[in-house]
């Protein structure tokens, strides 16, 4: 069977009519990878069952595609000709791809110099009009919110409720993949706070048990943890370099309802978790995507989370090839040798 994408797969759980044609790239159905080596590393001999939801394998390389299929399907239904978003990069690439598929004009605002190369490349390749602004994601979001009040352009950031409708399907898949029940802990990075809000909606709607939520923010961009707007957010995890999340209140509600935790992790710990994912399990993600794992490791070490016999799912939100620059900076330099057998033999000795 061909996987039809998240709207067809879960139409009964989504507020689309039976005959609304989906704009889809067959997103979703991403693997839930069992990670025993990693589990042993962060919680030795605790019997932790750890799973990685590898959202980087979506068509444009991030979880945004789940929400974008819904937002663009809705925009087409409403007769939109143009869509717009502010983005740290992944929303931009996803909007650009789905807009291309639907034949819509797509405009994306990105913070100058703070968007990873793979995201910029993809957005341009899909034909979006990329506008680089001398400001942050938060500045861009304010601009697109205001311009869409003034002009007939569809806003496809996660302030658009259809984005969350699509993204909640991630929770359905996790439950299905775990054999019909929710995990004990659901761990993920928090930026604009759309995804944590969407997952909580999904778990509640599916009624197969509820996890406790663990959200990770980068220490230099941790408004929800600090309880105040961060004017100049900074972090190596550019995807979540956000100082004033649009879904702040909804995320706090979800965290409270689930008996969850939101915590800040340093860039150093994010990169350590990022390295562990590739080296211990062969799963390459962009730095922001490792924030959920960094948060889980921190909370186990501090004793806030008891891992014994628990099932934890860590959502890996974006593919490692999104940010080749950071990957190369963080890696050892490749070894250079003459093209001679003897040189290789000496190297191996």
Pick from 30, 73, 136, 192 the residue near ligand F0G by CB under 6 A.
192
**Tokens representing 308?**
């014994």
CA distances from 303 to 35, 42, 52, 60, 314 (A): 21, 12, 22, 37, 18
Residue that has been written with the tokens 């990169």 in this structure: 271
Sheet holding 261-265, edge to edge: 32-34, 49-54, 311-316, 185-189, 212-218, 261-265
* Residue 121, helix vs strand vs coil: helix
Select the residue interacting with ligand F0G from 10, 286, 297, 312 (CB under 6 A).
286
How distant is the alpha carbon of residue 153 from its chain centre? 25
The helix (run of H) or strand (run of E) holding residue 94 is helix 90-102
Q: Is 89 in the site for ligand F0G (CB under 6 A)?
A: yes
111 near ligand F0G, judged by CB under 6 A: no
Cβ 26 to ligand F0G, closest distance in Å? Answer: 20
- Compute the least distance from the CB of residue 11 to ligand F0G, in Å: 23
Q: Which stretch binds ligand F0G (CB under 6 A): 14-22, 24-32, 88-96, 263-271?
A: 88-96
Strand partners for 285: 319
How many chain residues are in contact with ligand F0G, going by CB under 6 A? 22
* Residue among 96 and 288 whose Cβ is closer to ligand F0G: 288
Per CB under 6 A, 290 contacts ligand F0G = no
317 binds ligand F0G (CB under 6 A): yes
Asked if 217 interacts with ligand F0G (CB under 6 A), we say no
Buried b (16+ CB within 10 A) or exposed e, 299-329: bbeeeebebeebbbbbbbbbbbbbbeebbee
**Binding residue for ligand F0G, selected from 6, 106, 193, 236, defined by CB under 6 A:** 193
Min separation Cβ 307 and ligand F0G, Å: 23
Which residues are at the interface with ligand F0G (CB under 6 A)? Answer: 62, 64, 87-91, 158, 189-195, 239-240, 286, 288-289, 317-318
């Amino acid at each position: 069977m061909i996987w039809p994408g998240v709207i067809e797969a879960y139409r009964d759980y989504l507020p689309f009519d039976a005959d609304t044609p989906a704009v889809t790239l067959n997103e979703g159905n991403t693997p839930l990878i069992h990670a025993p080596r990693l589990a042993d590393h962060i919680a030795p001999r605790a019997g932790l069952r750890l799973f990685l939801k590898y959202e980087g394998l979506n068509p444009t390389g991030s979880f945004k595609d789940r929400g974008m299929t819904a937002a663009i399907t809705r925009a087409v239904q409403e007769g939109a000709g143009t869509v717009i978003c502010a983005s740290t990069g992944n929303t931009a690439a996803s909007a650009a791809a789905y807009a291309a598929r639907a034949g819509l004009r797509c405009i994306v605002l990105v913070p100058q110099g703070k968007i990873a190369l793979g995201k910029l490349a993809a957005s341009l390749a899909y034909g979006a009009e990329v506008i680089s602004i001398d400001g942050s994601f938060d500045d861009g979001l304010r601009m697109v919110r205001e311009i869409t009040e003034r002009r007939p352009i569809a806003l496809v950031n996660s302030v658009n409720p259809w984005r969350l409708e699509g993204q909640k399907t991630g929770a359905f898949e996790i439950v299905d993949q775990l054999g019909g029940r929710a995990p004990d802990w659901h761990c993920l990075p928090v930026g604009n706070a759309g995804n944590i809000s969407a997952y909580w909606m999904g778990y509640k709607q599916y009624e197969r048990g509820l996890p406790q939520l663990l959200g990770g923010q980068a220490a230099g961009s941790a408004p929800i943890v600090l309880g105040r707007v961060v004017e100049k957010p900074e972090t190596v995890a550019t995807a979540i370099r956000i100082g004033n999340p649009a879904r702040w209140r909804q995320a706090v509600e979800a965290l409270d309802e689930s008996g969850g935790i939101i915590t800040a992790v340093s860039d150093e710990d994010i990169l350590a978790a990022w390295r562990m994912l590739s080296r211990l399990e062969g799963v390459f993600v962009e730095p922001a995507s490792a924030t959920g794992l960094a948060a889980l490791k921190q909370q186990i070490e501090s004793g806030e989370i008891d891992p014994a016999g628990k099932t934890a799912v860590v959502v890996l939100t974006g593919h490692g090839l999104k940010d080749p620059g950071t990957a190369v900076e963080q890696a050892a330099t490749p070894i250079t040798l003459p093209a001679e057998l003897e040189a290789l033999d000496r190297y191996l000795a």
